[in-house]
A and B are shown apart, each in its own frame.
Chain A
């Protein structure tokens, strides 16, 4: 495989840059190649770019012939399939990550906006071959240059040149459009929920980081058409400084949470802008944002559209407004906070997997937050605070070496400020003493004094193996912020009316170098249906997980616990049944989801073990309670029994022995006396 695209994409990007008009009209499937190529140009990223040999004339020829000047001095980052493989097995996984990350890291909001005019479907020549992603000019060129077409009937062979013509960078927005299910936009119902979820998650994270008790208002209003809705989420958070507003809402993968290892709801910096993008894709409407950082500050109102091609915000409106709570002119001005409003195509439904269910469960896991929710029918639901204390703030930690994957390790080797390996290992990771660092270096066969960047090229894999062979202290666990038994129970109490509550927070544990802890709370009885399977409520870092229950480690753990020991009925391989809500929370600096849509937790044995232990501990409490209940019920039943059957005995004796009424009554009284004497509660 020739790593030719490096050259190819450079000129292509250049060429696109000259067609801004096309870009505007055909932007939906556009390709913001510019970002990544610039990132590469600055020598910061992909191995491909670093190692790539100079362009091969064959491919360079294509753009040139098209009259679009090649820029041989501009090394583009090779992104597309195959091209990015410099023959090393290790380069594939990081390639994607970098693709995602690079723009976030390097975005500057300036620079040449390259446009993929020629990539848009509408501009495809009619005779273009089936492979739809072909850039037509290059294709023509290559076909001429390529060996003669194979004879009809023989199996068609595609040459490396032809392939090269199809190998192009994939833009984030393009990726999103094709893979929106990965981000939770698979269907209209879920899209509505995901949008609310992303906005609320951001609000909660921001409030907590700023030490504010969150008050969040969620409104879903019917939109212009039946399948359109406007979602507005308002919080009392710290607000966003004016300059950041457009980027946060108008740029995918722009955020503060990705580059740190800290327990938080959001992680990627993709959520809210993806929601905005979805809205724009389906309704054409921009995102509307109001934010204020303090009562001395003005409130800023922005209307931001996304340039899907460049992954850049386009500001349609930027003004200062009086921001007040509610319609009333006398309403209190909001001192600080943010309001985001997105119109999108969706479908509104009630039920557990809906916005209602989400808000309700969020309220359970965030008892310190207050929620107000208005559904499209205009019904408002209030979820009051169940606790007036903020949870202890989660602390950021450095990654533990045992939790670091090879790709991340390579990247860290590259980006570290440390001058030697000793420093790199002990400063950039947690729990590596200088001594342990030397041990690792020895095992990896590198000198502790060598430069990390050199090691990256030669010994990364050996280093990775050495790290995993070396015994290290478990990572610090004080970085986790549990909800807490009391608070979790308070949250549950607020949302589920039951007779019995209990909760357990397990001590922190570690999976693959990542600290985590599990909390379980349960609510039994009340008006919950007794003959159905229990309700399982799952949380990861306080965010409810509504989909893919049976794929989740929580489900697996719940199924594996022998609930019969705790007086519940349970069929083999199923959840127990009974009037029970079981809430399970996992807090971790990195929650291992089975997919990007964050719906199910992966089945790590350490996690399942902790979950089962927590469930068993709660189960024991439940068992004790239920046994006591049963004893009481038995006793009451027996007392009722006596009352019920004594008259029958009296009547039978009356019939057989022809008793008179007084005799009968006396007999019944005496019998009551005899039977009650032995009963004690």
Chain B
């Protein structure tokens, strides 16, 4: 696989999109008609589960916000925010939500008084530009959540902001630490010979695998998600998998939360943020474990399911298209509810601390056909 260079055309696309929207507004005004901005309709009616692509997708419905007396303030703020975004792209900088909120303090009457207001405008812009295929990260509005950790034989290509030089990051060379996924990943390039990506829920298991260089043994890349994977983490896994053409296996706790929140979010995204799922889901991900079947086979120590867990599971079975599409998952969830217990990844430590490395994972990986979809 040839070395992939950094995608610097992205910024050009971003700037063009911003200018396109602004130009439409400008033209409308000067034709003496009310300017309009298009937003995807973000209600659940406009969210579809695309079985072919395997994730939630925004429907075609759009709503238009017309510039009227009542919307003039939001309109002004939206344009201000877009101007800020353009400036960030041009200067190759970024702003968190909080940064953007404070930036608005220079806008006179158009300033935000609470961060909630600026977050709402930012969400609107994100939705609007999702129609143009531009993510929030490309608009340089970065989230503050932690990205995720990477270990394994992987070279990441990044760019030095000051010199513009390409930097090679060797993910094997972090010693007892790990490479931390940056907030913005779309410009990154990759090189690897690994055979698969293992996405791990808990920091504890990731640390064990990293410490013992599990990736070396199994020739893989391990990623610690730390609970529900962040946007950057999902985008990183997606791009890495897409571009290196390697499969993604998920290794999470066996409980309704691990399955329907962490794994499902990784794989298909969330219904609430359907407009951004196109960037942030990993439809090719498969579920390695821990499965309900594993609980029986490995006689794992369990905890009883709480009422909220059962409720969550039943609710997912009833309403979540993911379970409607994947019959196997519906059965597995049913199975779990009937067992009335849950088991964590680390329950495998019952059979020895490194049982997971020496026995469980190799056995599982030898047999990918057994994975849940």
Contact = CB atoms under 8 A, between A and B. Distances in A.
Interface of A: 638, 641-642, 644-646, 648-649, 651-653, 655-657, 659, 666-667, 670-671, 673-675, 678-679
Contacts of A648: 76-77, 79-80, 107-110
Interface string B68-86: 1110110111011011001
A673 B73 CA distance: 17
Contact of A656 (B30, B68, B79, B108): B79
Nearest to A666: B30
A653 B25 contact: yes
Contacts of A656: 18-19, 22, 79, 82-83, 86
B79 A649 contact: yes
A652 B86 CA distance: 11
Interface string B340-373: 0000000000000000000000000000000000
Nearest to B73: A645
Contacts of A652: 22, 76, 79-80, 82-83
Given A648-B110, A652-B76, A670-B30, A675 B22 contact: no
B73 A641 contact: yes
B83 to A, nearest CB: 4
Contact of A649 (B33, B34, B75): B75
Contacts of B68: 675, 678
B19 A657 contact: yes
Interface of B: 18-19, 22-23, 25-26, 29-30, 32-34, 67-70, 72-73, 75-77, 79-80, 82-83, 86-87, 107-110
17 contacts: A638-B69, A646-B76, A648-B76, A648-B77, A648-B109, A649-B25, A649-B72, A649-B75, A651-B80, A651-B83, A655-B83, A655-B87, A656-B82, A657-B22, A673-B32, A674-B32, A675-B69
Contacts of A653: 22, 25-26, 79
Tell me whether chain A's interface is mostly helix, strand or loop, or mixed: helix
A5 to B, nearest CB: 81
Contacts of B75: 645, 649
Contacts of A671: 29, 67
B29 A670 contact: yes
A645 B110 contact: yes
B22 A642 contact: no
Contacts of A670: 29-30, 32
Nearest to A638: B69
Contacts of A659: 26
A652 to B, nearest CB: 3
B22 A645 contact: no
B30 A667 contact: yes
Contacts of B23: 657
Contacts of A666: 30
A317 B34 CA distance: 91
Contacts of A673: 32
The 8 closest A-B pairs by CB, nearest first: A652-B79, A648-B76, A656-B22, A645-B76, A655-B83, A648-B110, A652-B83, A645-B72
Contacts of B83: 651-652, 655-656
| Chain B interface main SS type | helix
- Interface-centre pick from B26, B75, B87 (highest chain A CB count, 10 A): B26
A608 to B, nearest CB: 44
B72 A646 contact: yes
Contacts of B109: 644-645, 648
Contacts of B33: 674
A651 B75 CA distance: 12
B100 to A, nearest CB: 14
- A659, A674, A678 pick with most chain B CB within 10 angstroms: A674
A646 B32 CA distance: 14
A671 B73 CA distance: 13
Contacts of A638: 69-70
A653 B25 CA distance: 8
Contacts of A642: 69, 72
A678 B67 CA distance: 12
A679 B70 CA distance: 11
B25 A675 contact: no
Nearest to B31: A670
Most buried by A among B77, B107, B110: B110
A667 B26 contact: yes
B336 to A, nearest CB: 50
A655 B32 CA distance: 21
Contacts of B19: 656-657
Most buried by B among A642, A648, A653: A648
Given A648-B108, A648-B109, A679 B69 contact: yes
Nearest to A654: B83
A659 B25 CA distance: 13
A166 to B, nearest CB: 76
A446 B310 CA distance: 86
B86 A678 contact: no
A638 B30 CA distance: 22
A667 B82 contact: no
Contacts of A649: 25, 67, 72, 75-76, 79
A185 B312 CA distance: 72
A679 to B, nearest CB: 6
A667 B29 contact: yes
Contact of B86 (A641, A644, A655, A667): A655
Contacts of A667: 26, 29-30
A679 B68 CA distance: 10
Given A645-B75, A675-B68, 8 more contacts: A648-B108, A652-B22, A652-B83, A653-B25, A656-B79, A670-B29, A675-B69, A678-B69
Contacts of A679: 69
Contacts of A651: 80, 83
A424 to B, nearest CB: 76
Contacts of B107: 648
Given A648-B80, A652-B79, A657 B72 contact: no
B138 to A, nearest CB: 16
A389 to B, nearest CB: 51
A642 B23 CA distance: 21
